[in-house]
Amino acid sequence: MKDATVKPRARDLGLPLPGTPGPLNAITDVPGIEVGFCTLTDPARGIRTGVTAILPRGSGPDPRPVRAGHYALNGNGEMTGTHWIDDAGTYLGPILITNTHGVGACHTAATQWMIETYADYFRTRHAWAMPVVAETYDGVLNDITRLSITPDHAMTALRSARRGPVAEGSTGGGNGMIAYEFKGGTGTSSRRVTVGGDWTVAALVQANHGIRPWLTVCGKPVGAAMPEGRLIERETGSIIVILATDAPLSPLSLRALAKRAALGIGRGGTPGGNNSGDIFLAFSTADAAAMPQVRGPVETVTQLNAEHLDPLYLAGVEAVDEAVLNAIVAGEDVPTVKPSGLVCRAIDIEKLATIFGGAIPG
């Protein structure tokens, strides 16, 4: 029997989404990736926030970096650690996503987690941690001035990380987020693609961006068809996109993949507003080499030819677009904190399905 408490995802509503997803249609379709959450909800105190943790190589004790590249469409936001990613082309450790005022607490927890998890490496070498922590602003649905996020909350998210299905909507850092003036939050999707081998490209987003008139779903002006319950006149949110793949890509190609996240969110209608922090990171788990400090002076690297990567770029665009839709479809009605007395509505999934000639599965 179908669990009536589990909401359908965007693809379940009959939306004509292109591409072939992986078995979970989630970032955890990339082998080895684990995702965890800590979700804080206390309506009496105006608290609705949390932390999302992504472990690119799980929680094993052997420190092995991933190749990475990053891109900021609009920099009104934060993603720590990206200066070194730009220079080194690699990254070690977890990725945390939270609210704007929780970055410091999450950075402390990520550093602690790395010291504990890679204990031998930190004990025997002058090792340093430079975690990636990203944020979006949840101050409409959460009293962000309370500074509710602590290192313990971030550590809970890290220690809860698992493989398998990924919860969406008001989970982890997505708990207090709004997308196109509907309840937004955490969303994920994946694509299978063949380029010199069979690979997965997947996205996880923290969707907190856009205004209603912009919302476009599979080419249709859905926002214009659902004008009720608007909250703002001007975009004030952001979106973080994490793209992951097991394809062997160079850091330059991963930066190019990260850029394609801009096209993915653009399919949903956003032009990238001035007040929106639209920041993207792409990484590959393909090269499981040890830390560069313990490797020899000559390296042989396998990577896909950039001339053949268009199918991967398309897969990234499609996965990001669907991940945003999954975040919105998973939403529920939530009262606002500032201004008080309003309600951020969930998208009407029955109406959304009807627009595309579908129906909510029974």
Selected catalytic residue, list 29, 138, 246, 278: 278
Tell me the CA distances in angstroms from 340 to 46, 179, 343, one per residue in order: 10, 18, 9
What mean pLDDT is predicted for residues 29-43? Answer: 98
Residue 4 has pLDDT above 70, yes or no: no
327 alpha carbon, distance to own chain's centre: 10
Confidence tier at 350 by pLDDT (50, 70, 90)? very high
What mean pLDDT is predicted for residues 78-98? Answer: 97
Q: What percent of the chain has pLDDT over 70?
A: 98
pLDDT tens column, 211-266: 999 999 999 999 999 999 999 888 888 999 999 999 999 999 999 999 999 999 99
For the chain, give the mean pLDDT: 95
Q: In this structure, what DSSP letter does residue 333 have?
A: -
Selected catalytic residue, list 238, 250, 253, 284: 238
Q: Helix or strand or coil: residue 308?
A: helix
What mean pLDDT is predicted for residues 98-108? Answer: 98
Selected catalytic residue, list 143, 276, 284, 321: 276
Confidence tier at 362 by pLDDT (50, 70, 90)? low
- On the 0-12 / 13-18 / 19+ scale of CB atoms within 10 A, 30 is buried
Residue 289 has pLDDT above 80, yes or no: no
The pLDDT value given to residue 3:
45
| Residue 278 falls in the annotated catalytic set | yes
Residue 163 has pLDDT above 80, yes or no: yes
Confidence tier at 280 by pLDDT (50, 70, 90)? very high
Domains and CATH numbers, the chain: 18-338 (3.60.70.12)
Q: Does the global pTM surpass 0.85?
A: yes
Q: Helix or strand or coil: residue 96?
A: strand
